[in-house]
Amino acid sequence: MKSNISKVMDWVFIHEGGYAERDSEPGGAVNMGISFTALKDVWKRLKMAAEPTFADLKALKRGNIYDADKGDAEDIYYGWFFTPISFDTLPSGVDYAMLDLVVNSGVGGGLRAARKQMRFPSSGKMDPQFLWALKSRNSNVVIDAICDGRLALMQSSKKWERFKDNWTRRVDKVRSRAHSMVEE
């Protein structure tokens, strides 16, 4: 739901954190959940003159999808995550649960996990039938399915034992917030 964008981005950025350089990050660094590798792709799409540096990633601003500046963190999220899942058309709460899933698992992986949990054919795409199901079914039931599918996907990861407490906490928080959004 379009009116939820600012609130949802606040929560996503809390979970994603700030700038960090780690070997485990794609490209070696991340800021607000945007890896250095992803920033390189964004710069190509925006036809920026020079290659980005870690300093450019570190200086990345949160921004706002409604401002004139393109290429800030919210613009990147909007193009990479919001648009492919039809965020603006999803019911309140379902939008947040789905967005946080695809931010962590990628659009394809997140959609496959949610579709599997809701007994839809495996696909990494948002098709009209699945979109209809997300919009027409009971939102609390859909939120639980998204979060349960997400946990199942995480439990299949080789990193589950190492990160299970943090990952479970995040999913529980997303589930709780999403349910409260339905009540609003």
**Strand, helix or coil for residue 70:** coil
pTM check: above 0.75: yes
Give the sheet arrangement for strand 29-31, strand by strand: 20-21, 29-31, 34-35
Burial of 88 per CB tally in 10 Å (0-12, 13-18, 19+): middle
Q: Final residue of a domain: which of 16, 51, 85?
A: 85
Identify whether residues 75 and 100 lie together within a single domain: no
CA 40 to CA 36: how far, in whole Å? Answer: 6
Q: Final residue of a domain: which of 68, 85, 102?
A: 85
Identify whether residues 95 and 79 lie together within a single domain: no
Identify whether residues 169 and 108 lie together within a single domain: yes
Amino acid making up residue 144: D
Q: pLDDT of the chain along its 184 residues, tens only?
A: 778 999 999 999 999 989 999 887 778 899 998 989 888 988 888 888 889 999 999 999 998 887 777 778 999 899 889 999 999 999 999 999 999 999 989 899 999 999 999 999 999 999 999 999 999 999 999 999 999 999 999 999 999 999 999 999 999 999 999 999 999 8
Q: Final residue of a domain: which of 85, 113, 147?
A: 85
Identify whether residues 60 and 7 lie together within a single domain: yes
**Residue-number span of the structural domain to which 166 is assigned:** 89-184
The label of the residue with tokens 């946080």 reads 100
Identify whether residues 80 and 94 lie together within a single domain: no
Count: domains in the chain: 2
29 φ, ψ to 5°?
Answer: -150, 160
Q: How would you label 24-42 residue by residue, b for 16+ Cβ within 10 Å and e otherwise?
A: eeebebbbbbbbbebbbeb
Identify whether residues 75 and 141 lie together within a single domain: no
Identify whether residues 99 and 118 lie together within a single domain: yes
Smallest Cα–Cα separation from 97: which of 83, 77, 111? 111
Identify whether residues 72 and 105 lie together within a single domain: no
Biggest CA–CA distance in the chain, Å, is 48
Task: At 127, list the tokens.
Answer: 């098709």
